[in-house]
Amino acid sequence: MKRNTKKYRSHCPINFAQETFGDKWSLLIIRDLMFKGKKYYGEFLNSDEKISTNILADRLEKLEVDGLLTKARDKENNSKNIYALTQKGVDLLPMLLEMIAWSAKYDNKTGTPAEFIRRLTEDKDSLIRELIAGLGSLKT
Amino acid sequence: MKRNTKKYRSHCPINFAQETFGDKWSLLIIRDLMFKGKKYYGEFLNSDEKISTNILADRLEKLEVDGLLTKARDKENNSKNIYALTQKGVDLLPMLLEMIAWSAKYDNKTGTPAEFIRRLTEDKDSLIRELIAGLGSLKT
DNA sequence: CATAATACTTGCATTTTGCAAGTAGGATAA
DNA sequence: TTATCCTACTTGCAAAATGCAAGTATTATG
């Protein structure tokens, strides 16, 4: 596995987060893994925002190096790789939920279903547990 | 005031957030306003990460157009502008706190004081109230 | 009236991103 | 066994974003 020897502009936590997943695409890949059950390269490639294939390959590698996801050969289809979130990746869930709540409040065309927002505001902890359960067992 | 007629790649809430403040610098400006009491152009310019002046000017304008902050002439010093968060900007606080918690957990050189982390995990609501109180009255 | 302070703008080099086409290895079918 | 397809990339080049240094404009300050 590649070593992560990155130098940070600062160790401010906001900056650390920004440098880890603050580019134009990383969080969308994590979203696909976290909320949409995607796990294959081709699935990420087909998301609505149309990431280009070289950028996808680059971001998957960066996220792997930074320990947010793992890559492994698919047992059932030996020509595919399976990507999965690590605990470090799953731990972004609370932040992503706050992000979703904010966007739902301020984007008047938000794609977030009203029922999701309701659970998010009224019942956040059980929503988190349910989402994590849906991710199955994690890889380190 | 300039009109915001941006077209979004999608109305996925994660993508909406990304397109609003997901570049390399915007969240650092919001951090300076939210946690460090900064309000002048020169103060943002002097933050640890060393944003360059043209980028700062560009980001301040974008954030103003997107309604996250306001710009006004300083009453006490007519050669300075005062930047302040709007409600829309302040509403990013819960997300930023989750981001800080995540970075503090995974950056072993994190700059976040232990006492802040403790309050964040044990007493989040009161921490939020205190931080908002510290921001003073907001502009629309 | 000259100098300084603050907030920018401009020009250009470097880096990052985007698009289209090409390649490589395993699965499938003849 | 060969050909075709599927999946996951890589490569080359154009376009856009960022970074750096210098310049300008407006408002204090002496």
pLDDT at residue A88, as a whole number: 98
Q: Tell whether the model's pLDDT for residue B139 goes beyond 60.
A: no
pLDDT at residue A2, as a whole number: 60
CA-to-CA distance for B89 and B119, rounded, in angstroms? 22
Task: Tell whether domain A13-134 is in CATH 1.10.10.10.
Answer: yes
Write out pLDDT tens, residues B9-25. Answer: 999 999 999 999 999 99
> Distance (Å) from the C-alpha of residue B48 to the closest C-alpha of chain A?
7
Pick the residue of A55, A107, A112 with the most B CBs within 10 A to test the interface with B by mutation: A107
Write out pLDDT tens, residues A4-56. Answer: 777 899 999 999 999 999 999 999 999 999 999 999 999 999 999 999 999 99
Is B95 close to A92, i.e. CB distance below 8 A? no
pLDDT confidence bin for A3, thresholds 50/70/90: low
CA-to-CA distance for A106 and A20, rounded, in angstroms? 25
Report the predicted TM-score, pTM, of the whole model to 2 decimal places.
Answer: 0.93
Q: How would you classify the pairing of strands A81-85 and A69-73?
A: antiparallel
Chain A, window 106-125: residues with a beta carbon less than 8 angstroms from a chain B beta carbon: 106-107, 109-112
Q: What is the mean pLDDT of residues A107-121?
A: 96
Q: Tell whether the model's pLDDT for residue A123 goes beyond 80.
A: yes
CA-to-CA distance for A129 and A108, rounded, in angstroms? 28
Is A99 close to B48, i.e. CB distance below 8 A? no
Q: Tell whether the model's pLDDT for residue A117 goes beyond 70.
A: yes
> What count of Cα atoms within 13 Å lies in the side-chain half-sphere of residue A124?
10
